[in-house]
Structure 1
Amino acid sequence: MRDLQQPGRSAVRAMDGLVATSHPLSSLAAIDMLRSGGNAMDAAVCAAAVQAVVEPQSTGIGGDCFVLFAPSGNDKVIGFNGSGRSPASATLDWYLDNGFAEIPDLGAHAVTVPGAIDAWCRLLEDHGRKGIDAALAPAIRYAEEGYVILDRVAFDWDDAVPRLRSDPTAARIFLKSGEPLRPGDVHRQPELAATMRTIAAKGRAGFYEGEVADDLVRRLKELGGHHTLGDFGATTGDYVEPVKTHYRGLDIHQMPPNNQGLTALLMLNILSGFELSKLDPNGADRLHLEIEAGRLAYHDRDAFVGDPALVHVPVAELLAPAYAARLATSIQADRAMTHLPRVRLPGSDTVYISVVDRDRNAVSFINSTYESFGSGVVGPKSGVVLQNRGRSFRLVRDHPNAIAPGKRPMHTIMPGMATANGRAIMPFGVMGGSYQPVGHVHVLSNLLDFGMDPQEAIDAPRVYHNDGKVAVERSVPSATVEGLRRLGHDVMPAVEPLGGGQLVWIDWENGTLTGASDPRKDGCAIGY
């Protein structure tokens, strides 16, 4: 139990249903959906749709999603890959011949065809009780009638001003006299509301065909993109088999490639060989081991992960216990490794949603437009912010993540699910671009190695190794910072909070649910 005399908040506990998201309007809409007869999938899509309006810097219907689903709380976890693909004419040769050294983060070339709406419609048809019209209703109301800008949303919005100014439609919709909105301002998105009404009436065809698709393709072509109406019409998500490993009594499930989820599993495999529970959870020794395991796992992520439909990804080999044990021998307890090349890991803005309903259907759901306000390209008539997930592609021949026609890029957004003894135990996730594997591992270790309750596990201080430096949050003890420096780490203050997470823990014996939501965001867990 937390120290009630210290700042913080208690975990949320309930019996019939529990939702945890990064925005209170999203959590409330999902709870309303559950209480009106919807199930966990209905609630998750409803929550994602609200956040597509009220957190436009982080997510939207012009983005992608991934989902892990445990029907009735069993351990036969279903994965759904709702990530989009590059245009059919986007060849590596074209980019190299036209002088590109990398995919730019702004503009049409960063845009892969959005997969979110196809995924939402498919998941509701297959696993929901209500339709896309009911799921979109709260989001449409907020887009039409307005919503209040919250503090973390405004923090991110302020940082994205140059991006928004680069596109006239983005500037018109998301800036006020050329300046960002502030906490307490009311914002409306009538064009997006109209688009969502079209989708509510027509389903996926309302996005991938007709006026909305025409608007988006026309704008992308004006900016030099390869996108066609055929690319939009051909978009379809896929059911996939999750990948998993075992850690401290739980099976941990992640999305397979093209997702980076196996990065977290490789980290867990490496760390399973160390007795973390004997260390100070916020001490330098524990965080050093996490940092080093992450450096090894990210090195392999960047070397091997791509779209398995087009390249071979050696998943079984990467997740073999013997391989992790071999990697672990590179880690020295008394000093940082020096043999690994520096890897720059871009951040992103994302929303993660965790839902469990009365029937113990458990949904782990993540949706994103990647970097803040995605590509900066907004449909002039539709109001849709298009993602910049194509930014993840490499322009390197024979690299597994090299751009190619109709290819999915390596994806950072990753839902997690824990199971044990034939049952789902916890849908969980931590947002934050490439930080996410570290975030997943840190929260899991807080729970399983150090016995923290769900809210404590999410609240705990975080560090992150990126591009040769270790970013530390202000809550990291000063003695720990100095300890990391003595171990050879180049430590710097984190310029923004590291990630943001949610989870719901299922206690089958007592018939209860315990939820937590990250104070680094604006959201909350709500149960009933």
Structure 2
Amino acid sequence: MKNRFLFLLLIATTFIFAQDRLTGRNFASRSEVIGQHGMVASSQPLATQIGIDILKKGGTAVDAAIAVNAALGLMEPTGSGIGGDLFAIVWDAKTKKLYGLNASGRSPKALTLDYFTKNNITHIPPSGPLPVSVPGCVDGWFELHNKFGKLPMQDILNPSIKYAEEGFPTTELIAYYLQVTINKYMKQYPNIKETYTVDGKLPQKGDIIKNQFLANTYKKIAKGGRDAFYKGDIARESAKFIQAQGGFLAYEDFATHHSDWIEPVATNYRGYDVWELPPNGQGMATLQMLNIIEGYDFSKIPFGSAQHLHIVNEAKKLVFEDRAKYYADSDFMKVSVNDLLSKEYATERRDLINPDRAGTFKAGKESNGGTVYLTVADKEGNMISLIQSNYRGMGSGMVPPKLGFMLQDRGECFNLAEGTPNSYAPQKRPFHTIIPGFVTKDGQPFMSFGVMGGDFQPQGHVQILMNLIDFGMNLQEAGDAPRFEHIGSTDFTGELSTGKGEILIESGFDFEEINKLIKKGHKVGFGGYYGGYQAIMYDAIRKVYFGASESRKDGAAAGY
């Protein structure tokens, strides 16, 4: 049986490698995009063009990012929208400083942990009214715009309003995601058909999609600002709808919402300062993994070798146990960020890794869930790393009538066990999977990047950074190189790991190295979720931007 598996593995690996990859060791699917005055990278070509147009009109990187995000909420509602949350890291060229924004929403004030206990609910469901938390995206737009914007919000939202009214052709990938999600939700929840179908039919590739409801909502936001969303009819209608469906989100939850400007956190990896946002997101897992991996000399460890995959996946397993136990809304964390990010703690954890055998790990000592990612740079040297999501693709299935968007299901990420940092509580931010990344070197911006995709995101961040720093790949190649994902760690909702988990690998890895990995005790399979990558790199000497985008999606980077 084992020999048969290895034979099939060899055939699959050899066949897909021949079909998917270019010649030699260069994994790049295309060249990097290079521009002097500005750069936009997103998962939708039309949205990327909108961002470039905003930059050419004199808009800042933040203006363009908001415009791109608004377009993605229309064109890629399977991963984003104003019913969800937002996180961003901004490099401001004037102050030469990074700024972090947490624009995630909180749980309903009227919903308590007792409700779940009394109703024998052990896990918040992924759809329906119960997982809906306050959408933070729109407030995030205005916080960013007030601090770093230049153009009027009307000019920023106009391109998306026009596309929503006149229509846009849907891509093959998004049409597929829409068909799967709409078909499921349309049977369960109201207002799906009216909002997301084309004359009552599931969208097909090339179909022209319109969303007049969303156009009207964007017009209200452009005219009335963030209060039009949080203190007007949009908030009232959303709350009324959720409560009619049996949920708890109230107008007061919208009206009292606010985003927070926060300090990004960093670790130095081989001379590069890698920046993430502190919890309630999982960006710190990237930094913890890098701290562990830094102890190995990858100048002597080839890309794709069994040793490479073993070290990175063992580091991931160690860090994700910490993630499950300690990460939460920062107001509720019991362990300090500094302790978890210390190099000393990383050494303690690294010592647990057996170089020859896959391990099963638990969290260290306490004393110590569809998304879009986009990035923009402008001619003044400003850069923004922005990630935005409804969670689980389109979100909760809850579409308030005639507003044109779906509300997120981020509340599913709470733990319903009592007494953990991420235990459910009213007016609390849930654990978040979405993380923007940024890299500086010698006090200068080096790269704005992200890899959307749930639990994969810290793993994706680490793989991109290692591809660039350890393996010398260029920006596009770093994203196109084959990826791997470890699954089966203890989850932030409280689900415990049951062993060593499994490493899922993409085509492009050498069969002999996979075999060595199996001999180390790892379970290896195919079919992982490898996320969506975008990045902009800045060359401070030649003063040019390099852009890269995800070849596994509809990714497009453009500069001018």
**Per-residue deviation at 1:311?**
3.7
Instruction: Give the alignment partner of residue 517 of structure 1, picking from 528, 546, 549.
Output: 549
Question: Could you tell me how far apart the structure 2 residues matched to 1:428 and 1:75 are?
Answer: 18
Q: TM-score, normalised by structure 2?
A: 0.90
For the structure 1 residues 140 and 178, does the alpha-carbon distance in structure 2 shift closer, same or farther, using more than 3 Å as the test? Answer: closer
Larger Rg: 2
Q: Which residue of 2 aligns with 1:294?
A: 316
Answer yes or no: is 1:99 the counterpart of 2:99: no
**Per-residue deviation at 1:188?**
1.1
Answer yes or no: is 1:466 the counterpart of 2:498: no
Instruction: Give the alignment partner of residue 168 of structure 1, picking from 185, 190, 194.
Output: 190
Q: Which residue of 1 aligns with 2:516?
A: 483
Structure 2: gaps of 5 or more residues: 1-21, 364-368, 489-500
- The answer on whether the counterparts of 2:332 and 2:422 sit within 8 Å (CA) in structure 1 is no
Aligned ranges 1:154-165 → 2 under 5 Å: 154-160=175-181, 161-165=183-187
Amino acid at match of 2:514: V
Q: Which residue of 2 aligns with 1:247?
A: 269
Q: For residue 316 of structure 2, give the secondary structure of its aligned residue in structure 1.
A: helix
Q: Which residue of 1 aligns with 2:166?
A: 145
Instruction: Give the alignment partner of residue 204 of structure 2, picking from 174, 182, 187.
Output: 182
Q: For residue 93 of structure 2, give the secondary structure of its aligned residue in structure 1.
A: helix
Q: TM-score, normalised by structure 1?
A: 0.95
Question: Could you tell me how far apart the structure 2 residues matched to 1:329 and 1:110 are?
Answer: 39
Question: Could you tell me how far apart the structure 2 residues matched to 1:192 and 1:412 are?
Answer: 26
Q: For residue 427 of structure 1, give the secondary structure of its aligned residue in structure 2.
A: strand
For the structure 1 residues 6 and 338, does the alpha-carbon distance in structure 2 shift closer, same or farther, using more than 3 Å as the test? Answer: closer
**Per-residue deviation at 1:217?**
0.7
Question: Could you tell me how far apart the structure 2 residues matched to 1:207 and 1:76 are?
Answer: 30
Question: Could you tell me how far apart the structure 2 residues matched to 1:423 and 1:179 are?
Answer: 50
Amino acid at match of 2:310: H
Amino acid at match of 1:270: I
Question: Could you tell me how far apart the structure 1 residues matched to 2:97 and 2:345 are?
Answer: 26
Q: For residue 110 of structure 1, give the secondary structure of its aligned residue in structure 2.
A: coil
Q: For residue 33 of structure 1, give the secondary structure of its aligned residue in structure 2.
A: helix
Question: Could you tell me how far apart the structure 1 residues matched to 2:520 and 2:153 are?
Answer: 53
Question: Could you tell me how far apart the structure 2 residues matched to 1:480 and 1:179 are?
Answer: 47
Q: For residue 433 of structure 1, give the secondary structure of its aligned residue in structure 2.
A: coil
Q: Which residue of 1 aligns with 2:352?
A: 330
Structure 1: gaps of 5 or more residues: 342-347
Question: Could you tell me how far apart the structure 2 residues matched to 1:493 and 1:209 are?
Answer: 47
Instruction: Give the alignment partner of residue 383 of structure 1, picking from 397, 404, 408.
Output: 404
Answer yes or no: is 1:450 the counterpart of 2:471: yes
Amino acid at match of 1:100: I
Q: Which residue of 1 aligns with 2:16?
A: none
Amino acid at match of 1:261: G
| % same residue | 39
Q: CA RMSD, aligned part only?
A: 1.9
For the structure 1 residues 7 and 116, does the alpha-carbon distance in structure 2 shift closer, same or farther, using more than 3 Å as the test? Answer: closer
**Per-residue deviation at 1:154?**
2.5
- The answer on whether the counterparts of 1:74 and 1:423 sit within 8 Å (CA) in structure 2 is no
For the structure 1 residues 5 and 237, does the alpha-carbon distance in structure 2 shift closer, same or farther, using more than 3 Å as the test? Answer: closer
For the structure 1 residues 82 and 191, does the alpha-carbon distance in structure 2 shift closer, same or farther, using more than 3 Å as the test? Answer: same
Q: Which residue of 1 aligns with 2:136?
A: 115
Question: Could you tell me how far apart the structure 1 residues matched to 2:176 and 2:463 are?
Answer: 25
Q: Which residue of 1 aligns with 2:526?
A: 493
Q: For residue 276 of structure 1, give the secondary structure of its aligned residue in structure 2.
A: coil
Question: Could you tell me how far apart the structure 2 residues matched to 1:254 and 1:49 are?
Answer: 23
Q: Which residue of 2 aligns with 1:419?
A: 440
For the structure 1 residues 383 and 509, does the alpha-carbon distance in structure 2 shift closer, same or farther, using more than 3 Å as the test? Answer: same
**Per-residue deviation at 1:74?**
6.2
For the structure 1 residues 281 and 194, does the alpha-carbon distance in structure 2 shift closer, same or farther, using more than 3 Å as the test? Answer: same
Q: Which residue of 1 aligns with 2:259?
A: 237
Amino acid at match of 2:268: H
Q: Which residue of 2 aligns with 1:345?
A: none
- The answer on whether the counterparts of 1:147 and 1:188 sit within 8 Å (CA) in structure 2 is yes
- The answer on whether the counterparts of 1:120 and 1:132 sit within 8 Å (CA) in structure 2 is no
**Per-residue deviation at 1:163?**
3.3
Q: Which residue of 2 aligns with 1:367?
A: 388
**Per-residue deviation at 1:83?**
0.3
Aligned ranges 1:250-269 → 2 under 5 Å: 250-269=272-291
For the structure 1 residues 481 and 173, does the alpha-carbon distance in structure 2 shift closer, same or farther, using more than 3 Å as the test? Answer: farther
Answer yes or no: is 1:283 the counterpart of 2:295: no
Q: Which residue of 1 aligns with 2:98?
A: 77
- The answer on whether the counterparts of 1:90 and 1:403 sit within 8 Å (CA) in structure 2 is no
Q: For residue 424 of structure 1, give the secondary structure of its aligned residue in structure 2.
A: strand
Q: For residue 80 of structure 1, give the secondary structure of its aligned residue in structure 2.
A: strand
